[in-house]
Amino acid sequence: MFLQNEAIPHALLFLGIDGVGKTTTARAFAMASNCTAVKNRHLFFKQDAPSIHSTAQDSTAENDICPGCKSCNKIEKGNHPDVILVEPTGPYIRINQIRNLCNTLTMKPYEARLRVVIIKDAQAMNPSAGNALLKVLEEPPDRTVLILTAMQTSDLLPTIVSRCQHIRFSPIPGNHLKTMLMEKQGAGPEDAEILTIMANGSFSKALSMMRQMKKTNWIKRRAWLLNEVELLPLMPTPFCLAFAETLSKNKETLTDSLEVMTSWFRDLIVCRFHPAKVMNKDIIEKIHKSSKKMTVDSLLSKIEYIRLAQRNIQLNSNLRLTLEVLMTRLARA
């Protein structure tokens, strides 16, 4: 839209859950803005796959979409001098990163028609970094666009939010995500169905679980997780602590494991009011049976405890202690 109308804002804020293509779209924007081979640059965005050029090669509109010019190749490989990616180092984007960015932006772009700065997970900026970025947003450099990505506006300073034009990314529809997993990643129909359910509209989450599925049987792991979670209220404290210790030892699967628990408690609520919207449809009978054992208030509390633990983990808190507190709370809620 912006390229087609040639009215590009100096700052964009891409909002949505992780894994819906915010950073991929930001790179595509940079490619479309600087492509040296394309006639109609806005056509870059008329495609579904994460890779711009894989779709471009299938195009029948000759010269409409870039076949792989020098500029686009550099951006795709991450070594274009005027497409700058800023992302968290550890849990935060620190003030020194923003100061270095500000120094870079005092100079003219090296070769790009339009310099693009992508600040990934902008909610990770600490207050001093956020305030330093404000100076750039208030006095934007020439031929430069800043693209910030975040999950929601409430995670950012209001002064930053007000200086950006917002674009919201919806979760990827289930049928689309399933097709992508089967056609682009080689997943079988049954595995793709389960991954789609658990990913909840996030392509990156689906890929993460798919990688874990190749190492171990993720469906069996889900069954084990849900069985342990159901046992928590019936078991003594040492059982809860042992479960927390087991989860803490496998950091690769921890994020997905916590999301599985969240989807489980969510389904226990949803099945009472809108059974058709249950996510884990393959275990619907188990969901109906377990739902009768807990109140809605209790289930909401459990979901909030998991979300709190996830936030604490992102802030680099003690992993085992965080999980021990979580399991103790889940047992008592």
Mean per-residue pLDDT, 301-322: 90
At 259, the pLDDT band (50, 70, 90 cuts) reads confident
Q: Judge whether residue 48 has pLDDT over 50.
A: no
Mean per-residue pLDDT, 23-43: 78
Question: Which of 76-90, 179-193, 315-329 shows the lowest mean pLDDT across its residues?
Answer: 179-193
Question: Which of 10-19, 224-233, 252-261 shows the lowest mean pLDDT across its residues?
Answer: 252-261
Residue 265 corresponds to which tokens in the numbers above?
């408690």
> Start-end ranges of CATH 3.40.50.300 in the chain?
2-168
> Start-end ranges of CATH 1.20.272 in the chain?
216-332
For position 146, what pLDDT does the model report? Answer: 94
Q: What CATH number belongs to 2-168?
A: 3.40.50.300
User: What's the sign of the alpha-carbon dihedral 187, 193, 195, 201?
Assistant: positive
Residue 143 · residue 169 · CB < 8 Å: no
At 3, the pLDDT band (50, 70, 90 cuts) reads low
At 7, the pLDDT band (50, 70, 90 cuts) reads low
User: What's the sign of the alpha-carbon dihedral 259, 261, 264, 268?
Assistant: negative
Per residue in 121-143, pLDDT (tens digit) is 999 998 899 999 998 898 888 88
As its CATH architecture, domain 216-332 has Up-down Bundle (1.20)
pTM > 0.75: yes or no: no
Mean per-residue pLDDT, 144-170: 91
For position 51, what pLDDT does the model report? Answer: 36
Per residue in 206-234, pLDDT (tens digit) is 887 777 666 667 778 888 999 999 999 99
At 50, the pLDDT band (50, 70, 90 cuts) reads very low
Q: Judge whether residue 55 has pLDDT over 50.
A: no
Mean per-residue pLDDT, 156-180: 88
> Three-state secondary structure along the chain?
CHHHHCCCCCEEEEECCCCCCHHHHHHHHHHHHHCCCCCCHHHHHCCCCCCHHHHHCCCCCCCCCCCCCHHHHHHHHCCCCCEEEECCECCEECHHHHHHHHHHHCCCCCCCCCEEEEECCHHHECHHHHHHHHHHHHCCCCCEEEEEEECCHHHCCHHHHCCCEEEECCCCCHHHHHHHHHHHHCCCHHHHHHHHHHHCCCHHHHHHHHHHHHHCCHHHHHHHHHHHHHHHHHCCHHHHHHHHHHHHCCHHHHHHHHHHHHHHHHHHHHHHHCHHHCCCHHHHHHHHHHHCCCCHHHHHHHHHHHHHHHHHHHCCCCHHHHHHHHHHHHHHC
